[in-house]
Amino acid sequence: MPSFRSKEVQQLLHNKFVAILGDSIQRSVYKDLIWVLQNDSLLSSSQMKSKGELCFENDHLIEGGVLGELHNGTHYREVRQYRTDRHLVRFYFLTRVYSEYLESILDDFRAGPKPDVLVLNSCVWDVSRYGSSSMKAYRKNLQTVFNRLDAVLPSSCLVLWNMTMPLGPKVKGGFLIPELQHLSQSLRNDIIEGNFYGATLAGLHLFDVLDLHFHFRHDLGNRVKDGVHWNNVVHRRITNLLLAHVADAWGVVIPDAKSREGPWWNEPPPDFLPGSVPPRMSPPRPRWPAFHEDSFFGPDSWGSCETYSGVTPFEDSHVPAFHLDGPWWNEPPPDFLPRSVPPPMSPPRPRWPAFHEDSFFGPDSWGSCETYSGVTPFEDSHVPAFHLDAAAFDGFQDFGRGVAAVPDPSRPPPPPFCNKENIHPRSGRRKRRAHRDKRHRGLVMRRPAFCRNDTNPY
3-state secondary structure 82-139: EECCCEEEEEEECCCCCCHHHHHHHHHHHHCCCCCEEEECCCCCCCCCCCCCHHHHHH
With bands split at pLDDT 50, 70 and 90, how would you rate the model's confidence at 306? Answer: very low
Helix axes 232-250, 24-36, angle to 10 degrees: 70
User: 271-306 in b/e burial notation, b at 16+ Cβ within 10 A?
Assistant: eeebeeeeeeeeeeeeeeeebeeeebbebeeeeeee
Q: How far, rounded to the nearest angstrom, does the alpha carbon of residue 251 sit from its chain's CA centroid? A: 23
Task: Give the percent of the chain with pLDDT over 90.
Answer: 45
Q: Give the range with max mean pLDDT: 24-38, 162-176, 325-339.
A: 24-38
CA atoms within 13 A on the CB side of 152: 23
pLDDT above 80 (res 454): no
How far CA 353 is from CA of 171, 261, 350, 365, 368, in Å, comes to 65, 47, 9, 9, 7
With bands split at pLDDT 50, 70 and 90, how would you rate the model's confidence at 168? Answer: confident
pLDDT above 60 (res 142): yes
With bands split at pLDDT 50, 70 and 90, how would you rate the model's confidence at 72? Answer: confident
Residue 235: its pLDDT value, please?
Answer: 96
Which run of H or of E encompasses 8?
helix 6-12
Q: For strand 117-120 and strand 297-299, is the pairing parallel, antiparallel, or unpaired?
A: unpaired
Residue 160: its pLDDT value, please?
Answer: 97
Residue 301: its pLDDT value, please?
Answer: 43
Residue 169: its pLDDT value, please?
Answer: 83
Question: Quick one: average pLDDT of 431-438?
Answer: 48
CA dist., res. 153 & res. 18, Å (int): 13
pLDDT above 90 (res 183): no
Q: Nearest-CA neighbor of 229 among 147, 170, 173?
A: 173
Q: Where does residue 422 fall: left (phi above 0), alpha (psi -120 to 50 degrees), or beta otherwise?
A: left
CA torsion 40-45-50-55 (nearest 10°) is -30
Q: How far, rounded to the nearest angstrom, does the alpha carbon of residue 75 sit from its chain's CA centroid? A: 40
Show Cβ contacts of residue 60 under 8 Å, excluding neighbours closer than 6 positions.
54, 80, 81, 82, 83
CA dist., res. 273 & res. 276, Å (int): 6
Residue 2: its pLDDT value, please?
Answer: 82
Q: What amino acid is encoded at 48 in this protein?
A: M
Pick the range with the lowest mean pLDDT from 9-18, 127-136, 301-310.
Answer: 301-310
Residue 434: its pLDDT value, please?
Answer: 46
Residue 216: its pLDDT value, please?
Answer: 94
CA dist., res. 66 & res. 55, Å (int): 11
pLDDT above 80 (res 431): no
Q: How far, rounded to the nearest angstrom, does the alpha carbon of residue 360 sit from its chain's CA centroid? A: 46
Kindly report, residue by residue over 102-119, the tens digit of the pLDDT: 999 999 999 989 999 999
How far CA 157 is from CA of 19, 30, 114, 154, in Å, comes to 11, 18, 8, 6
Is-contact 5 40, C-beta < 8 A?
yes
Q: What is the DSSP letter of 180?
A: G
User: What value does the mean pLDDT of the chain take?
Assistant: 74
Show Cβ contacts of residue 248 under 8 Å, excluding neighbours closer than 6 positions.
none
Task: Give the percent of the chain with pLDDT over 70.
Answer: 53
Pick the range with the lowest mean pLDDT from 173-177, 245-249, 253-257.
Answer: 173-177
Query: Would you mind telling me the total number of residues written for the chain in this entry?
Result: 458
Is-contact 405 398, C-beta < 8 A?
yes
CA dist., res. 156 & res. 151, Å (int): 13
Kindly report, residue by residue over 361-404, the tens digit of the pLDDT: 444 445 444 444 555 555 555 655 555 454 444 544 444 444 45
Residue 418: its pLDDT value, please?
Answer: 52
Residue 202: its pLDDT value, please?
Answer: 96
pLDDT above 90 (res 65): yes
CA dist., res. 197 & res. 195, Å (int): 5
Question: Quick one: average pLDDT of 434-457?
Answer: 50
Residue 11: its pLDDT value, please?
Answer: 95
Q: How far, rounded to the nearest angstrom, does the alpha carbon of residue 85 sit from its chain's CA centroid? A: 38
Beta bridge partners of 297: 307
pLDDT above 70 (res 69): yes
pLDDT above 70 (res 291): no
Residue 170: its pLDDT value, please?
Answer: 81
Kindly report, residue by residue over 329-359, the tens digit of the pLDDT: 555 555 555 555 556 666 666 555 544 444 4
